[in-house]
Amino acid sequence: MIDINIIREQPELVRKSLADRQMDSGSVDEILRLDEQRRELIQKVEALKAERNAASKEIGRLKDSGERQAKIEAMKAVGDQIGALDESLRQVEQALEAVQATIPNLPDARVPYGADDSENLVIRQQGQIPQFDFEPKPHWELGTELGIIDFERGVKITGSRFYVLSGAGARLQRSLIAFMLDLHSRQGYTEKYPPFMVREKTLFGAGQLPKFADNLYRDYEEDLWMVPTAEVPLTGLHMDEILEESHLPRLYTAYTPCFRREKMSAGRDVRGIKRGHQFDKVEMYIYCKPDESEAMLGKMTADAEETCRLLGFTYRVKQLCTGDLGFGSAITYDIEVWAAGCQEWLEVSSVSNVTDFQARRANIKYRPADGGRVRFPHTLNGSGLGMPRTLIAVLENNQRADGSVAVPPALSPWMGGIEVIRPE
């Protein structure tokens, strides 16, 4: 949530932000209207309360019982007016918060303008597109022939867009998760194992609600929602807390399965395991002081890139344009790896500086060491990395002419001696 003072004092800046994001800016006018109405109601309530307080003192000094009773009756009417105005104020504040919650974060000045993802900018590439002396297979063929990806049983158990990993395939995915968690721990992140279900308040604080309600799975009998990303419970860790400046920055990493209701069309673009309603991801998350967040963005991006390099990937870093920027993000860098069988770039990480957007929504503050007023920290998040696209790239880029797949050396400690995956 952005500071209401920015909307009051710089409404044109917010309107431009929405226009750059390809969004309607009418909500700004609605916020200004409700904010003005709120302030008028507060003034009326405060004036009546001051009148009542003054009258209470006067009543205490009155000697005439009739005059005192008349004054008491008059103040009852004032009390009724205050009650009615308080209810109106509550409704206006509720409406104001609801509209304000739909306003995305303001893009950083460095974010390039663009209508959609086709206008994102590639800012660097590491490595060359790998060449094979045979026709590399896509993972849906490779995994099936190796007996490590079972699409039919996934569909039988649950439905379309689900699959079963088997044998060395299941172990490979588990190894990737363990490798990433251990790597991020060495990079300075503290590992967390959060719940995979959260409350509505937690999702609101992380910026997932109300905007993405249609993409979330939930228990309709209880206030429990399946996490769409570990970013959500990691935001919730310090919800409604005041942190000490000396304890910042805080760096966390966590593995969770992720659950998202997505409408997916048929065809090559979603063939195989690239997109599904359930997937695994290792997340990086940082709380820091505002003047540290730029450096933390550089660190988190570098940490995600190191993950790619250790796995032997050819990858590129893209800066997202305004039209593709996430709801809570001020600036985002995507990392895409090359997949030789699909013959395409696959996004495996998205690293974002969310500034104080989530901290305001989740009521997370920190107390400066000098004892000054509490402030909102900045938060950052990034995939480190996301499955199954990382798994796809490992399989497709390390396949051999005989149909086997060589295990990247970085994963050896977790593969139980398996160096090559062969047909079961």
Q: Which residues are catalytic?
A: 260, 275, 347, 350, 389
**What's the CA gap between 263 and 355, in Å, rounded?**
30
For 294-303, the CB contacts below 8 A with 24+ separation are 294/353, 296/249, 296/353, 296/378, 296/380, 297/331, 297/333, 297/351, 297/353, 297/380, 300/351, 300/380, 300/382, 301/333, 301/335, 301/351, 301/382, 303/184, 303/187, 303/382, 303/384
What are the residue ranges of helices labelled H in 165-230?
168-186, 200-205
Question: For 412, which DSSP code?
Answer: G
- CB burial string 34-46: b at 16+ within 10 A, e below: bbebbeebeeebe
CB 254 within 8 A of CB 282: yes
DSSP string, 48-65: HHHHHHHHHHHHHH---H
**What's the CA gap between 144 and 314, in Å, rounded?**
25
Indicate the helix (H) or strand (E) that contains 87: helix 65-100
What are the residue ranges of helices labelled H in 221-380?
231-236, 293-310, 357-362
Nearest by Cα to 423 from 145, 164, 134, 137: 145
CB 14 within 8 A of CB 28: yes
Taking CA atoms, 246 is separated from 101, 134, 184, 249, 366, in Å, by 31, 56, 22, 8, 9
Tokens 């974002």, located at residue: 352
Indicate the helix (H) or strand (E) that contains 93: helix 65-100
**What's the CA gap between 16 and 4, in Å, rounded?**
16
